[in-house]
Amino acid sequence: MTVTIYHNPDCGTSRNALAMIRQSGEEPEIVEYLENPPSRDTLMSLISAMGTTPRALLREKGTPYAALDLANPKWSDDELIDFMMAHPILINRPIVVSPKGVRLCRPSEAVLDLLAVADIGQFIKEDGEVISRKTPGAGAG
């Protein structure tokens, strides 16, 4: 199985998702999208595969979202993608791609639905929250 994570190492949610992927036994392809932004075609493919819109993928916190007036409904999808290409920090993260689908993994435990082995046992997120995913029926006998 091949898993790819569009990752920002400065983001706790992204770090938690990456750690959960690794705890499942996968070593994903890591795309640090701020250093190596996806092409326009790749970004459009990710948005389409997630069944979302460019507007829904915009990140507000810690970005030029307000300064660029991106809440204004005047911006078309193509224009919003132009902004994300010019300012990759506007792309919300982490986006995870696996054979099971493509998803913006917020909260980070949403990544478990994309993994071949979702039973990762107990996982403690950076903020101390405990996540426990067991396969239904596991341990029964």
Residues 123 and 120: their CA atoms lie apart, in Å, by 7
Separation between Cα atoms, residue 22 and residue 27, nearest integer Å: 6
> Rounded to whole angstroms, how far apart are CA atoms 125 and 6?
19
Going by DSSP bridges, is the β-strand pair 29-32/4-7 parallel, antiparallel, or unpaired?
Answer: parallel
Q: Catalytic site residue 105? A: no
Catalytic residue among 3, 11, 47, 112: 11
Catalytic center residues: 11
